[in-house]
Structure 1
């Protein structure tokens, strides 16, 4: 039995090719042009996006990307490649012949190009799609499914598809996050009476949740599981939402204003993690390590610790490969 015609495709959000205004503008145009991300009148939004948002936001975002860019390139891309390499080694041992690669929802390599290449050029008959979004949202995993369906509609021969919808409450993921946090405390120091753990999830407009998006419910479930795994009392942690865009009401409480309020009320130390992200990126490095840190310390806080994403940590990849094995079992080729 072999898996030599089976591929696993990990899908991350994507990144500009370079930290230049031109490259960032191209990326933002695709990202913010996705109707799953911005749910407004498409004709009106296209005008606003191209005439107002992109000319103003692209240079601003390029400066932000420049602060986190590495010699190897975008942190999100670098960490995604490390993750896929590590998962390929682990899954390859469990499922001989299995091939692992990645695609980006926005930018390159695109889902369309990767799926077409795997099936039409390389002959893979079965594809497991793994969005690197622990929580399901129409804005993320739903959009990945849209992109997949768009390319499948153009293919006369189509591969067999399986897809991981979410893993926000999977024991492997909760265990890995809890270990990441507890390992930090063992190495650094315990949280202490005047410290608080902040679980900062990516935000979204409240209206999306009101229409039925399950994202917020999944963040509540996940954060409770993490707190329980760490044996935290209710006053030792808080769940917040970051990355607000525009003037609409988004999920609350907002991360940065909450940090400022905590500092003013006497919280001296913040340890913060971002459970919406598997790999570190602009939102974790620049928004949390940079802007949120400054806001907390300027408001009177004394210590701010960002705990990195799981990225390609060995213990996480071991647990993740066991979890994905459940989706691959029984999919082998009969010899």
Structure 2
């Protein structure tokens, strides 16, 4: 481990976390098994949950493998998350190496909930670094029990386990969400604005579809705040964007990636794309709940829904990229991480 040359007073690390994805085709079935055995995804007793997860992973593995074959045989989310972690560490070192008269030595690690690197692997690196502060940063702007809270479950299980590689006593700071954070909203609206300036010539004939990953309605009805947070992000981004453009836009909020027969959040992205054809509108999609590229954007949005749009005769189909390592987004994360530590460091 290369130490910061400064005589540091504080060691702080951030663990950015995401859902994960298979790093090769052999990992597809284990990835699906981990995903559907998650009690936050299927809230049943472990025995029936295991049976259902095993069945789903067996039934879906071939379809999932075909999706990842389109992406070179693996999910790009690991590499993309690593790039975000590197960018965040560079930002923290460049702009936030001091809190008052104390210097801060930063490290940023990344972990996946259902893939590698696992939290257990990362905790071994954290133990070696031995920080006084640990910040848990979700790469989910909107909180859901199925994503952010699921990772927190694993966090508590891992650090409290007898075989945990981390036995330190660092102060842990959990960032729950940032769905209405000013810098996050600005990052999104600036990204969309730049895309419009470079790609869309007829705004009056373009409908902007803000697409979020769906959830079963039953999870939302049980108190999960995800839908309300997505709606708030949508409201604030559209408001900011319209102020920048000095005009009203035709926009819709919708949901994608439905799995299984249960009722999910509506309207669906497919429904809204078909409505665009009915109304003779061009389509422009922004993935409002994704901050990095993966199968739901690169295959579902860029291939499957593009094909649908062409089949039904939509003339122009645009898809705005995710925030990824946009400087404004990395700056947003940097501020959130630093402020979490600085409140206790001063």
Please say whether Structure 1 and Structure 2 have the same fold, judged by a TM-score greater than 0.5.
Answer: yes
What's the CA shift for 1:137?
Answer: 0.4
| Structure 1 partner of 2:57 | 54
**Residue from 263, 268, 272 that aligns with 1:254:** 268
Are 2:11 and 1:10 aligned? no
Count of aligned pairs: 326
What's the CA shift for 1:123?
Answer: 1.8
SS at match of 1:231: helix
| Structure 1 partner of 2:316 | 303
**Residue from 270, 281, 296 that aligns with 2:294:** 281
Write the mapping of 1:70-81 to structure 2, written as runs, cut at 5 A: 74-81=75-82
Write the mapping of 1:28-177 to structure 2, written as runs, cut at 5 A: 28-40=32-44, 42-50=46-54, 52-69=55-72, 74-93=75-94, 94-95=96-97, 96-119=104-127, 121-154=128-161, 157-177=168-188
Cα distance between partner residues in 2 of 1:181 and 1:88: 25
Distance change (3 Å), C-alpha of 1:3 and 1:176: farther
Q: What does the per-residue CA deviation read over 1:166-190, in whole Å, with 9 as the maximum and x for residues that have no partner?
A: 0000011000000110000111124
Bigger Cα displacement from structure 2, 273-282 vs 191-200: 191-200
| Structure 1 partner of 2:4 | none
Are 2:283 and 1:270 aligned? yes
What's the CA shift for 1:234?
Answer: 7.0
Write the mapping of 1:206-221 to structure 2, written as runs, cut at 5 A: 206-221=217-232
Cα distance between partner residues in 1 of 2:124 and 2:333: 26
Cα distance between partner residues in 2 of 1:331 and 1:115: 22
Note if contact 1:199-1:272 (Cα within 8 Å) is conserved in structure 2. Answer: yes
Note if contact 2:133-2:341 (Cα within 8 Å) is conserved in structure 1. Answer: no
Normalized against structure 1, the TM-score is what? 0.91
Divergent runs of 4+, >4 A:
232-235
Q: What does the per-residue CA deviation read over 1:97-136, in whole Å, with 9 as the maximum and x for residues that have no partner?
A: 11111111111111233124312x3322321010101000
SS at match of 1:161: strand
Provide structure 1 residue ranges, at least 5 long, that are not aligned to the other structure: none
What's the CA shift for 1:45?
Answer: 3.4
Note if contact 1:3-1:98 (Cα within 8 Å) is conserved in structure 2. Answer: no
